[in-house]
Structures are given as structure tokens and as C-alpha cells.
Structure 1
Amino acid sequence: MTNALIDKLSRRDTVSPDEIAALAEVLEPPRKVDANVDIVLEHALTDHSILLLAGFTARYSTLSDGRRQITEINVAGDFVDLHSLLMKQMDHGVVTLSPCVIAHAPHSRLQRLTEQHGHLTRLLWLDTIIDAAIHRQWLVAMGRRSGLGHLSHLVCELFTRLSAVGLTDGQSFNMPLTQTVLGDALGLSTVHVNRLIAELRREGLVRWSNPRVDILDWPRLARIAEFDPTYLRLHAAPV
């Protein structure tokens, strides 16, 4: 069940067989969840964290008028709310963007893991730190990048994160996100998102036929995005 998570963590440091077994023991049996289901409710008190085994989810916050801002998109191998181990009450929600497979990790088991496996705890801590780094990049994109640069950065980021867990095919990947979802992530209208996707196609940067995205010119796409993957910390370095 933990293959994608192990693949990601192993990019950063060696994960021992004992640590792999410890991660497996933390998790309850996997279950399938349909798209558009809230798996974490805003302001909820929770006694478990959730590992995403397959599919896409999004962290979001809503305003009083119902408008939604997506603050991060999660992919397989992500703990969507590992920080709830210490936060307890959530300040945001998590919704499935596609059919997903998830597994609950009771906080009581995670607590024991932190007491018994120091190195693995640091690796998981690093994962939550990278969450914060992703949020900082999204904030920069929202405030300073052009619409085209912002969308390009999101495409580059998701491709890189999916590649790290073996979910890309050459320069192609599946991204089953509607233009409404992309608008909520980018802070743009669906009309604007549609125009930006058309511009990426017209410039020969991508072939985009939902859900498949084929990146045709990575160097130019990354240049438009000003994409520097350093914040994703996918290189090996002991923790």
C-alpha cells in the first residue's frame, strides 16, 4: 500500500525494511472513495491522518459566500493531512478530485511510530516541511506570476511530483482536473483558464486532452513557469 510513499521518501534518503514495515503497520485497510467527496472537513477534529494511495485530492478553504480556494493538490504517496497529528482541529478541508484510494493512519499509531522510529519520523517531518514549501511557491505564483506562468508552474510541479512516484509516461501524465478545479487552484475564472490552456497548445508547449497532458517542450515550459524544483527536495541527502 505504501509503494508511492516509499518511492518518494527514498528519493530523499534510504528507507530501511524495518521502516517500510513500520509504515505499513500504521495504516488501516485501504478504501475507495468517489470523486467530489470531502475526506477532511474544514474545522473538523480528527483522530487520524490520511495517506492517498491513488488519485488526486485538494486542500481548500472556502469563504462565507461559498467561493473556494484550492491551496495544494495532492497525488499518490502524499499524506494529505499528516499535520493533523499535532493540529487536531483542521483549518481547511480536503476533497477528492478523482476517484481515489485512501488509507487512514490513526494518530495513536503515528504517535507510537514517532517514539520508535526517529529517522522515519524525520523523513515524514520533511514531507510536511515540503508541503509548506509548496504553499510558498503557490503564494508566489498567485501574487507575481502571469496567468500563463502560473498554469505552467502548476503543470511542471504536478509532472515532477508524479514522476517521483512513477506515475508519468515519458513526458506525459494524467491530470484529471476540470477547468473549474484549475480555476480554484489558480484563482482565475474558468474562461481565463480555458484561454490559457489554448495558449499553451497554440505555442506548442503541451498537447492537452483531459485527462492526458503531453509536454512537448519542457525547457520552454519550465522557462515560462520559472520552475525550479529545489523546493520539492527530490534529491538524496541524509536526514
Structure 2
Amino acid sequence: MHILLLGATGRTGTLILQDLLSRNHTITALARNPTSLTPTPGLGIIAGSPLNQSSISQAITSTPTPPDAVIIALASVRASDSPFAKPTSPPRLMADTHIAVLAAMKKHGIKRLITISAFGVGDSNEYVFWPMRMVLNYSAMKVAFEDHNVVEEVVRREAGEWEGEGKGLKWTLVRPCMLKEGDGKEVSVFGEQGRGVGLMPSVSRESVARFVVERCLEKEEFVARTPVICD
């Protein structure tokens, strides 16, 4: 398959890119700083912003046929990994990116969208262990989680409109638990809300990458779902 990947230079996006290439998929990566990516057979690199619909359209039309799917692995950035560090990304990075991407997908007839969201977004928030939920809701991380909440609203609304037009958006919003470094392994899926996930669940970025590529993309599981995943 041919994939449009946004967020290919990030910690999780890099692993998704590597996994895709290892399975002989071809990728177009849209990157604000294309020099951060190493030219590789099977990888096309387009310089541009995910917030700019013309950049997205350029990435889509840079190959003879449109991508089969779009994977969004973007993440809001803070000044450090501390949950109280000042956000340095636009507060609506994810929401505005999805608005631009969905418009371009609709124009070019692309139906499959896979996005890395987070456990604690939407109706999974109540199943986060309460001390961590306090951090999510009252630290600088709140900005990113509010942004992800808007993404869910945007995607569900667009899916309804596409269905009404007979086009059918196939979306998946993956909700990984706390991300960590480490080897990839088979993940456990705790439904769409994370009920019973435990006190401090985590998942390696490599596990997330494998889940996204193998189960969401190749096997096309979890369409119109928000799977919570942990190691």
C-alpha cells in the first residue's frame, strides 16, 4: 500500500515509518523539516505544514496514484517532558490538521484514516487512575488532551457527513497508554474506554507502531473505533 504519513520525524512516527518500510509499503512523508528524514527507497519526502491544505494536497498528488491511507502520528510538543512544561505547539495543532487532512482526503477520494490519539481522551478519561487524571486535567498536558477531544468531534462529524454522501470514511483513533521506549510486543486492547486497564499502564512506541501498521492498516481492524492499547 501507499501511505501518507504525518509526524514521520517524531518519536512514534519514526517507528511507524520504519515498520511500513520493512513491510514493503511506500510512503509519502509530509514534514516541516524534511532534512530530518533520510532519503530511502520507497520514501518520498514533501516539505510543508500539516496545517496547510495546499501542502497536504501536494503530498497527495506527488505520486501517480493517491495514497491508500493517511496515518497521523503528530504530537503536541512542550518545552520538556514535564507535564507542567509550557506547550510550544499551536493549541489546535491536531484539530486543525485533521480539518485540513479530511478536506484533502475527501477531495482525492481517500477513505482510510488512522490517528494516534491517547488514553484519557474522550470517554476514556474516567478510566484513568485518578492521580494521573488530575495531572492530565490540570497540568499543561490539558491543552493537548483538549485538542485531541476536538479531533474526535471533527472525525465523527465528518464520518457522518461522508456516510450521508455515500463515501464512507474509515477512521481509527488509537488510544495508547503512557508511551515509553522499549521493544515492541503484542499489545492488549482494553476496549474503547480502557476499563480495567490498571493503575499506571504503559505501552512502548514500537508496540504502537506495530499495532498501527499490522492491525489497523493491513488487517483493517478497529474501523470506527477508539482502541485503548497497552503492553
Q: TM-score, normalised by structure 2?
A: 0.30
* Bigger share in helix: 1
CA radius of gyration, larger in: 1
TM-score by length of 1: 0.30
